[in-house]
Amino acid sequence: MATRRGFVQAGLGAALGLAAAMGAGGPALAQEAEPIDVAAIYTVPVEQQWVSRIHLALQAAEERGDVTYTFSENVANTDYERVMREYADQGIDLIVGEVFGVERAAREVAADYPDTAFLMGSSFGPAGENFSVFDNWIHEPSYLTGMVAGSMTESNLIGMVGGYPIPEVNRLMHAFMDGAREVNPEVQFLVSFIGSWYDPPAAQEAAFAMIDSGADIMYAERYGVSDAAEERGVYAIGNVIDTQEEYPGTVIASALWHMEPTIDRAIAAVRDGSFTAEDYGPYSYMAHGGGSLAPMSADIIPGDVLDMVEAKRQEILDGLFRVNVNDTEPRSTR
């Protein structure tokens, strides 16, 4: 029964497709104006800092009419491969997502669907012909916010609360620490990981403990840290998203990630048929507009610090200064 119905449907579909193609007067012309189909698969809700940047860039592309955008959020890693295949089977042109928990399986799916373009957040390199990778390479603005923190701390103790010490978290933490050390060799760091991406009360507890033992600047990698800083009246440094408006007088500088350069480049590549396996990581660098320093709180940060950070920002943009990349797990230095 089911087979016969499927056969009839397939036949009908093919006939209709043929008619549509003939009616449109050549598929090539039609494709030029049509938006491409993009689907995103996220393992967390779209409010999560990291994923929200991808979501934002894709929403912008949809508003411009470049793409039709659908997404699945909160997909468990165990379901991830299945959802990828479902979208690929639907004929989606470009699938965006994050494969930190399913690196190998995701590459196998991509190999099975050579006509689909995959652009995935990944700790590893591109694969095959159609599996490109990106990541939040915002170590440059993180370094700059580190300089702010190093200048602003009076206790010479900076607290850092992270989710898990994975490369993309470690890298930004190290860049931040390097920046702080450049302007203040005396500075020490307290580092702790809460073993969850989504436990703001736990992150807040870790931050409270740091503040109570003397930290006067908090590096807010997780939700909950800025709240602790606000409650105890110390400063916080934002990461990935700009929370300065939500925490005025608390978050004084933020390293931002912008996915637009990465997404727009991938869309253009899919459109003109030039999409290949590529590392899109550099499109998150400051030079490409993928990373930036949010406007700093000029009423709190002294002018000479602002000038110094601005000078370093220019050096990075001019290619005169390269921020070190260090993926090892950061540890407390005290």
Q: How many residues bind other proteins (CB under 8 A)?
A: 42
- The upper half-sphere exposure of residue 305, i.e. CA atoms within 13 Å in the direction of its Cβ, equals 24
- Say how many Å lie between the first and final Cα of the chain, rounded: 71
117 contacts other proteins (rule: CB under 8 A): no
C-beta neighbour count of 103 within 10 angstroms: 14
35 contacts other proteins (rule: CB under 8 A): no
C-beta neighbour count of 307 within 10 angstroms: 10
334 contacts other proteins (rule: CB under 8 A): yes
Q: Tell me the pairing of strands 94-98 and 117-121.
A: parallel
Shortest Cβ 131–other proteins spacing (Å):
28
Stretch that binds other proteins, among 4-12, 41-49, 304-312, 313-321 (CB under 8 A): 41-49
Question: Structure tokens of 212?
Answer: 């109570």
Residue 67: which H helix or E strand, with range? strand 67-72
Burial 134-154 (b: 16+ CB within 10 A, else e): bbbbbbbbbbbbbbbbbbbbe
Shortest Cβ 82–other proteins spacing (Å):
18
Choosing from 224, 238, 261, 281, the residue that interacts with other proteins (CB under 8 A) is 224
Q: Which of 321, 323, 332 is nearest to 189 (CA)?
A: 332
321 contacts other proteins (rule: CB under 8 A): no
Stretch that binds other proteins, among 31-39, 107-115, 209-217, 276-284 (CB under 8 A): 209-217
Stretch that binds other proteins, among 115-123, 137-145, 282-290, 326-334 (CB under 8 A): 326-334
Choosing from 137, 208, 257, 285, the residue that interacts with other proteins (CB under 8 A) is 208
Stretch that binds other proteins, among 30-38, 39-47, 88-96, 273-281 (CB under 8 A): 39-47
Using CB under 8 A as the criterion, what x/- string covers residues 244-263 for binding other proteins? Answer: --x-----------------
Choosing from 241, 252, 259, 267, the residue that interacts with other proteins (CB under 8 A) is 241
192 contacts other proteins (rule: CB under 8 A): yes
Residue 232: which H helix or E strand, with range? helix 225-232
Question: Structure tokens of 182?
Answer: 């450049």
Contacts of 308 (CB under 8 A, 6+ apart): 147, 151, 183
Strand partners, 131: 118, 127
Stretch that binds other proteins, among 24-32, 96-104, 202-210, 267-275 (CB under 8 A): 202-210
3 state SS of 289: coil
Binding site for other proteins (CB under 8 A): 44-47, 49, 52, 56, 74, 159, 165, 190-202, 204-206, 208-210, 212-213, 223-224, 227, 241, 243, 246, 329, 331-334
